[in-house]
Amino acid sequence: MSNTVNEKLRNTCEIALETLKKVNDPDTAELQTKLEWCVGSYSFDGNAVGLHEFGVVALQTLKDIKNENPKKVTKKVIDDLEKSIASYEAAR
């Protein structure tokens, strides 16, 4: 699998994590912790499976937050995460 695809997934997951932190919803605390761990783990071992798993969860969570309050999450964050997940899945 292309390392570029994995790096893009890591980068968009980091942006999603930062967005979740800014939203500051206690219901996303566990997801934030898991996503942060996956980003660190990927930096250590280069395995993007966890990034994909929790990137998908983060994507749905961000969409839900945007539906409730459109100004809290930008369309770009969601679109970029969707694209990187799709690229990862296509490369598998």
The number of domains in the chain is 1
Of residues 39, 31, 37, the one with CA closest to residue 13? 39
User: What pLDDT, on a 0 to 100 scale, did the predictor assign at position 48?
Assistant: 95
DSSP at 72: S
* 8 A C-beta contact, residue 31 and residue 20: yes
User: What pLDDT, on a 0 to 100 scale, did the predictor assign at position 6?
Assistant: 95
Task: State the chain's mean pLDDT as an integer.
Answer: 96
Place of tokens 């942060």: 36
By the 10 Å C-beta count (0-12 exposed, 13-18 middle, 19+ buried), 15 is classed as middle
| pTM check: above 0.85 | yes
Residue 16: is its pLDDT beyond 90? yes
Give the span between the Cα atoms of 28 and 62, in whole angstroms.
10
Structural domain that includes position 64: 3-91
Residue 11: is its pLDDT beyond 90? yes
